[in-house]
Amino acid sequence: MQEIRSKEEAEEKAKTKQQKLINRLKKMEEKMVVGSQAIEVAKKQQKELKKTQKALEKEAKKERELEEELKKKDSDFLNAQHKFNSIQEELEFKTKKLEKLWAEYNESQDALNTVSEDFDRERNDMYDTIYELTNQLKLKNMIIENFIPPEEFKKIEKVTVWNEEANDWVIMHPAKLK
């Protein structure tokens, strides 16, 4: 009778220990899921950075085109030759032409300044995003290094697989590992 009770107590202790280990494993799996979500967010942000970079390149190209157009108009103005009956007519014509070109120049400068400001703002946003992602990654690595025992981390690494289709980490069922 004593042996049965001691066996039952041993089984109860084993079940309790097993339950604690299962709970601990679940907590670790949750941490891995959170980590994979952070990786997913980082990848999305990286894609957004690439899109923004392409947009910035387009804006820079547009800026160059505007500068070329401005240079062309300046050269057209210098090349324009008209015959006038008096100096007064020539002065009035050139004054009107100069005012028109000056307005176009100011418009082009405003467009150039706007593009430049947008570029600077987006570049600063990208730097901020990179800084935030770097800090998040450092924090997550520090948490993993300091709070998850290395042997447990290796076990978790063994049961996780990257799924390209889902673009996420998948934790395999332990029964499938054997």
Q: What are the structure tokens assigned to 83, written together?
A: 């015959």
80-100 pLDDT tens trace: 656 778 888 888 888 988 998
Q: Indicate the range of 9-18, 24-33, 113-122 predicted with least confidence.
A: 24-33
Q: What is the DSSP letter of 173?
A: P
The pLDDT of residue 68 is: 86
Q: What is the DSSP letter of 166?
A: T
Q: How many CB atoms lie within 10 A of CB 145?
A: 10
State how many domains the chain has: 1
The pLDDT of residue 159 is: 87
- Distance linking the first and last C-alpha atoms of the chain: 38
Domain that holds residue 95: 2-177
